[in-house]
Amino acid sequence: MKYNKMFIIGIAGSGKTHLANKISKILKIKSYDLDKIVFRKKDFTRVKDLIRDEKVNKILNDKKWLIEGSYTSDWVIPIIKKSNLIVFLNVNILKAKKRLLFRFIKRKMFENEKPESLKDFLTLSGYSNKSVSKRKMNFSKRFSKKYKKKIIVLNNNEEINKFLKSLIN
């Protein structure tokens, strides 16, 4: 099947952005990070819901897109409805935390962008702990029955690599 509208969802540190970048290159589809739509870059404050929704709707009107994020609130339902594939990254929590720590250190030491603060990192890390079971259950209950045919769950690197290979063929 040809995928041209995809939504990648998972907890912080699950590898959403990394996977989105790989898929974007393979399928030549522009990738969007919901965090960059929800938060202002300069001060990391939330934009108004109306602005967020306008940005999302503009993307959804394109013929091809790949959106990634960890949101499961009602405002992502249009993304889910218009997706022809939803990829749920179901990675190990400890692995996700390790990735978050590595990303935090890398940004602090090597990147020019304003890095997140230690407080931001700890909040994000703690958030993934508290919400991971709730988020999985919430996503599963709300969307798996209705959109079952277009959801795939990837649990590990082997499954992710197999999926990426399937996109090339």
Q: Which two tokens stand for residue 10?
A: 């998972």
Contact 145, 80 (CB under 8 A): no
Contact 82, 148 (CB under 8 A): no
Contact 144, 135 (CB under 8 A): no
- Quick one: pLDDT at residue 84? 93
- Quick one: pLDDT at residue 110? 65
- Quick one: pLDDT at residue 13? 76
Give the whole-angstrom CA distance, residue 1 versus residue 39. 34
Q: Which two tokens stand for residue 70?
A: 């960890």
- Quick one: pLDDT at residue 134? 57
Exposed e or buried b for every residue in 105-125, given b needs 16+ CB within 10 A?
eeeeeeeeeebbeeeebeebb
**Averaged pLDDT in 10-residue chunks for the chain of 169 residues:** 88 85 95 90 83 96 94 88 91 69 64 58 55 55 70 90 90
- Quick one: pLDDT at residue 7? 96
Q: Which two tokens stand for residue 130?
A: 């508290």
- Quick one: pLDDT at residue 1? 58
- Quick one: pLDDT at residue 139? 60
Residue 28, Ramachandran bin (φ over 0: left; ψ between -120 and 50: alpha; else beta): left
- 143, with CB counted inside 10 A (0-12, 13-18, 19+), is buried
Domains present along the chain, CATH in parentheses: 5-168 (3.40.50.300)
- Quick one: pLDDT at residue 141? 58
Beta-bridge partners for 85: 6
